[in-house]
Structure 1
Amino acid sequence: MRFSKMHGIGNDFVVVDARQAPLALPTVQIRALADRHTGIGCDQLLSVEAPRDPSCAFYYGIWNADGTPSGQCGNGVRCVAAWLHRAGALALDRPVRIESPSGPVSVRVLDAHRVTVDMGEPVFEPARVPFTAEGPAAFYPLSLDEGTVQVGVVSMGNPHVVVAVEHLADPALERLGPQLTGHPRFPAGANAGFVQILGRGHLRLRVHERGSGWTQACGTGACAAMAVLRRRGQVDESVQIDLPGGRLQIDWPGPGTTLWMTGPAAFAFEGEWLPGPR
């Protein structure tokens, strides 16, 4: 199976051309492919396929490193757009709709290595995240081993829980990340983002992703962190977010409008995967 290895500020992907036929790999093979010691190694596997929705030019599938499917991936969609541009399927600076497992998004390739994406309007209704709660709120108390933590909850096509912290180097976050990702009030799990506010236009972020663990970057996590803080009035409508792997720009005026994410997409190498006995 031919593949491209790509990354968006360190969030790394295996991208497969499946435009002729949908990708169908069993979970055990996805895990083998994602293994960093005996496979290619990646946070997510992405397939580029023919669209299901006739209003879209292409479809992309997303699988986490543990083989579970995902509804959306912000860094991944930028890589898909850059891959399609290099393949001659997307022109520069021309908006195009492509289809994710959670629905269509609009992308625009700014240059060979930089893409902007309309990620849709953040969803705060608990049932649509999904999250168990009586109704929308800016803060929810969650009981963890360390005590009660105040969190924000939002969907960006996948579920996110956001915690504002004073210091990202706090060792307690190593324990809190997995606890939040698997918290029983998130029936489908959640991506756990820890955000430090440096100013109204500048944030720092770490994300523990469901199905992949701690990653160098999470595009939807950056969108979620900005959306939660913007809803609380703590940040401006354009924010720079620094993650361990690099920087993203997130723009969202507020409710009733869509959120845009802009950042790089990079090619690492090409290859052929030959799955064998483990």
Structure 2
Amino acid sequence: MTMEITGAGVAGRYPFAKLHGLGNDFVFFDDRDETMDVSVDQVKRLCDRRFGIGADGVILVRPARLEGCDGLMYYINADGTLAQMCGNGVRCFAKYVVDRGIVDAARGSLTVETLAGPRAIRFTMDEAGRLATAQVDMGAPVLEAAEVPLNAAAADEAATVVAEDRAARPCDGQTRSCATTLTLAYPGGPSFAFVGVSMGNPHAVCLIDDWEALPAHLFKGGEKSLETFDVDAVGAYFESHPAFPEKTNVEFACVDDSGIAMRVFERGCGETMACGTGACATLVAAALTERSERENDVHLRGGTLHILWDETDHVIMTGPAEEAFIGEVEL
């Protein structure tokens, strides 16, 4: 189940930094002394784009609890719920700690503890001595329905997607890649098929092959396409569908010769410019359904991530991280 933070709130003036990965943006606080007991209301106010700083979430930089890790990314969604993992957020975390000398840039790598476990990161530096790109080992995708988690009983139809000769994963006692596809009806039609994938947080990936086949009321005018698809309405409906007991991130994507184009409705945030874990989950779903090879570019509204599902079954995400500005805020 999703969890809200339980902080009673803090008072005072605090320095912060605003970072983003392809427009997926975060308010960072240095909480290495673990004194920032922020409340749900404070998180919502910080993330408000009219009355606050504006962000998709708040990230507290805390000391690692696991041996071998360089810090803990404590990530809170804009609605005050905790998130196990955030692909763009973890790249920004790396930039925050490397650019400030918390981690020695000469190492070229670090390991970040997340609520979904440790993530190993290699990084490159720009000419000014700041982190430019980060390559994150996102671990193996979780495909078993109970672990995503999915509630197949709440679906109109459920099926197993199996891809032979792919990464070795247990499926019905055999070594092959498999995942569950749920077909779910949208009010007023039609039904959508979602591939369930967890990258430390749950994802429901819908790959669309024919936009013209969808009814006009699902688009915001103009030509039927991913760009005009009403992600706000459709994504919000499926985010909290009973088929997803912990709610879910919802991806809509299509594949062509240039790569995979994707938009995402993030759990606890709404549509964002980019989602790193969502890009990874979408590549896995596209590979499983034989729409894509196991390595491809994923094009998001804020830019492009390069995703590789390698021979060890790990998903490797490569992309940029940028700092927008720093300041102080009254809490």
Q: TM-score over 0.5 for the alignment?
A: yes
RMSD (Å) for aligned C-alpha atoms: 1.7
Check 1:92–1:180 CA distance in 2 against 1; reply closer, same or farther (3 A cut): farther
- In the alignment, the residues of structure 1 paired with residue 105 and residue 294 of structure 2 have an alpha-carbon distance, to the nearest angstrom, of 28
Shift of the alpha carbon at 1:93? Answer: 6.0
- In the alignment, the residues of structure 2 paired with residue 234 and residue 106 of structure 1 have an alpha-carbon distance, to the nearest angstrom, of 28
For 1:114-143, what per-residue CA distance to the aligned partner results, in whole angstroms no more than 9, with x for missing partners? Answer: 111000000011111111127872222112
Q: Which SS does the other structure have where 2:160 is aligned?
A: coil
Q: Which SS does the other structure have where 1:76 is aligned?
A: helix
- In the alignment, the residues of structure 2 paired with residue 48 and residue 2 of structure 1 have an alpha-carbon distance, to the nearest angstrom, of 13
- AA paired with 2:243? R
- AA paired with 1:61? Y
The answer for the alignment partner of 1:177 in structure 2 is 235
- AA paired with 1:99? E
- AA paired with 2:152? A
Does 1:218 pair with 2:275? yes
- Count of residues in correspondence between the two structures: 273
Q: Which SS does the other structure have where 2:59 is aligned?
A: strand
1:85-104 superposed matches below 5 A = 85-88=98-101, 89-92=103-106, 94-104=108-118
1:1-278 superposed matches below 5 A = 1-21=14-34, 23-88=36-101, 89-92=103-106, 94-111=108-125, 112-133=131-152, 137-138=160-161, 139-145=181-187, 146-165=189-208, 166=211, 167-199=225-257, 202-253=259-310, 256-275=312-331
When structure 1 is superposed on structure 2, of 36-45 and 86-95 the one drifting more is: 86-95
Q: Give every structure 1 segment of 4 or more consecutive aligned residues whose post-TM-superposition deviation is greater than 6 Å.
A: none
Provide TM-score, normalisation by structure 1. 0.93
When structure 1 is superposed on structure 2, of 240-249 and 20-29 the one drifting more is: 20-29
Shift of the alpha carbon at 1:171? Answer: 3.5
Contact in 1 for aligned 2:231/2:263 (Cα 8 Å): no
Shift of the alpha carbon at 1:212? Answer: 0.6
Shift of the alpha carbon at 1:38? Answer: 1.1
- In the alignment, the residues of structure 2 paired with residue 172 and residue 82 of structure 1 have an alpha-carbon distance, to the nearest angstrom, of 33
- In the alignment, the residues of structure 2 paired with residue 60 and residue 222 of structure 1 have an alpha-carbon distance, to the nearest angstrom, of 20
For 1:32-83, what per-residue CA distance to the aligned partner results, in whole angstroms no more than 9, with x for missing partners? Answer: 1111111111001111110111221211101111111100000000000011
- AA paired with 2:31? A
Shift of the alpha carbon at 1:92? Answer: 4.7
Shift of the alpha carbon at 1:17? Answer: 0.7
- In the alignment, the residues of structure 2 paired with residue 34 and residue 92 of structure 1 have an alpha-carbon distance, to the nearest angstrom, of 33
- In the alignment, the residues of structure 2 paired with residue 192 and residue 61 of structure 1 have an alpha-carbon distance, to the nearest angstrom, of 22
- In the alignment, the residues of structure 2 paired with residue 51 and residue 174 of structure 1 have an alpha-carbon distance, to the nearest angstrom, of 36
Check 1:22–1:114 CA distance in 2 against 1; reply closer, same or farther (3 A cut): farther
- AA paired with 1:43? D
Work out the percentage of aligned pairs sharing the same amino acid. 36
Contact in 2 for aligned 1:92/1:110 (Cα 8 Å): no
Q: Which SS does the other structure have where 1:32 is aligned?
A: helix
When structure 1 is superposed on structure 2, of 218-227 and 168-177 the one drifting more is: 168-177
- In the alignment, the residues of structure 2 paired with residue 93 and residue 226 of structure 1 have an alpha-carbon distance, to the nearest angstrom, of 30
Contact in 1 for aligned 2:45/2:52 (Cα 8 Å): yes
When structure 1 is superposed on structure 2, of 168-177 and 95-104 the one drifting more is: 168-177
- In the alignment, the residues of structure 1 paired with residue 228 and residue 73 of structure 2 have an alpha-carbon distance, to the nearest angstrom, of 36
Shift of the alpha carbon at 1:157? Answer: 0.7
Q: Which SS does the other structure have where 1:137 is aligned?
A: strand
- In the alignment, the residues of structure 1 paired with residue 104 and residue 26 of structure 2 have an alpha-carbon distance, to the nearest angstrom, of 20
Contact in 1 for aligned 2:284/2:294 (Cα 8 Å): no
- In the alignment, the residues of structure 2 paired with residue 220 and residue 58 of structure 1 have an alpha-carbon distance, to the nearest angstrom, of 20
